[in-house]
Amino acid sequence: MGCRKRPSQENEKSVATNALTKQRVKKNAEIIMRYSSICPVRVAKNFLHCCFCVEKFNDPLLFRSHIKQDHSKIDKSSCLKKLDKNLQIRVDISNLRCLICSNPFASLKPLAEHLIEKHKLEIDIQISLGLVPLDLENNYKCVVCNQKFTGLMQLSRHTGTHFYQHICYICGKRCETNSGIQNHIERQHSHKNMCRVCKEPFPTAQAKIEHVKTNKTCMPYSCKFCKERFLFFELRLQHLQQVHGVPIPEYKCTECNAVFEKRMRLYMHFKSEHTKEHQCPYCKKTFGTKKFLTEHVHRHTGHRPLVCEVCDKSFNREKSYRLHCIIHDDSKKLKCSLCSRKFIGMTKVKAHMKKHHPEAYSKQFPEKSSTS
């Protein structure tokens, strides 16, 4: 019988194999950058950041013009040092062509095959090319699946999912970087209910939520000027406007120019009005999120997956289910301040006060009483 390899030997071999693969990927990217018209770019906060200087742009045409005028003679592969961090480089492939013979191409793979067959360049297409293609002149549409997005950041993140190289050995989740997989394992499989800031584990998700609510230093959103922390994104926006004079941003739809105060409102509008990603297969109605679509489909099928553990009543909407559960939990009911009766929700409390305590209602809710 042959000798079994020690774990250290297997680990060393794995590390050596990964290093060799990374070197080949880097070589692929270097050759394609050198002999094609692709332009490396870094996308952050819906801006196109030049990889060779500090300039940033929100217009793809201005970005390309900047590259041609200021960096026409630069070695584009100089940005490949980022591949040492297992991060694939975003590249603009609009007007993609071979720089040797000027042949045009629609995507990177045919270009790579052309460079191999026609120009005898050493590219290994059996492994990753190390490049994530973005067509910046295609109205925020993914070059792989043609799905449309509301902005550059969403497009960049989505397109990267088609080229994920790192896989979680526990659940199969894919990430673009090795550090992303390690963070995923730490958060989801080591201590699922762990505070992301102080790393303290908790027995339940509710315990973690209460910890974040009561510990200022662990709140997720911080002010970039005074480091004040906030529990919600909207509270940070209000603080920036009121304390530091920063205007609240507006989010404009790229398809119809509708304007929204919240990014999530824009996202839901775009998905429901300008895509068919969340479309009902029965009536063709579209929705802003997969959750809303699923609840709507349950109405067609009669499926009621949410069942009350106390009385076995079933529901097809999560909101209806949660409101019903309050019936069995007095601690979550709202109390009338005059007669101590308990109700499910503020709407019920107001209706009760208006009927049984009209004078107190008119004082506590003057605008409501005057309009009614």
Higher pLDDT, 133 or 23: 133
Boundary (domain end) residue, out of 142, 166, 190: 166
DSSP β-ladder status, 131-134 and 342-343: unpaired
Boundary (domain end) residue, out of 119, 141, 166: 166
Can you tell me the distance from the alpha carbon of 39 to that of 23, in angstroms, rounded to the nearest whole number? 21
The three-class DSSP label of residue 106 is coil
Can you tell me the distance from the alpha carbon of 368 to that of 372, in angstroms, rounded to the nearest whole number? 6
Boundary (domain end) residue, out of 130, 146, 166: 166
Position 227 in a domain: no
Structure token digits, residue 111: 């270009």
User: Quick one: pLDDT band at residue 2, thresholds 50, 70, 90?
Assistant: very low
* Whether the Cβ atoms of residue 152 and residue 41 lie closer than 8 Å to each other: no
Residue 10 pLDDT exceeds 60 = no
Position 248 in a domain: no
pLDDT digits (tens, 9 = 90+) for 236-252: 988 999 999 998 888 88
User: Quick one: pLDDT band at residue 115, thresholds 50, 70, 90?
Assistant: very high
Position 256 in a domain: no
Phi and psi at 166, nearest 5°, equal -110, 130
Position 212 in a domain: no
User: Quick one: pLDDT band at residue 128, thresholds 50, 70, 90?
Assistant: confident
pLDDT digits (tens, 9 = 90+) for 43-65: 987 889 998 998 999 888 899 89
Position 119 in a domain: yes
Position 150 in a domain: yes
Structure token digits, residue 366: 């003057």
Q: Give residue 357's domain range.
A: 333-371
Structure token digits, residue 97: 């062509």
Q: Is 274 exposed, middle or buried (0-12, 13-18, 19+ CB in 10 A)?
A: middle
Q: For the residues 74-96, what does the mean pLDDT come to?
A: 80
Residue 103 pLDDT exceeds 90 = yes
Q: For the residues 128-142, what does the mean pLDDT come to?
A: 89
| The model's pTM | 0.66
- Please give the mean pLDDT across all residues of the chain: 84
Position 73 in a domain: yes
Report how many domains make up the chain.
Answer: 2
Position 189 in a domain: no
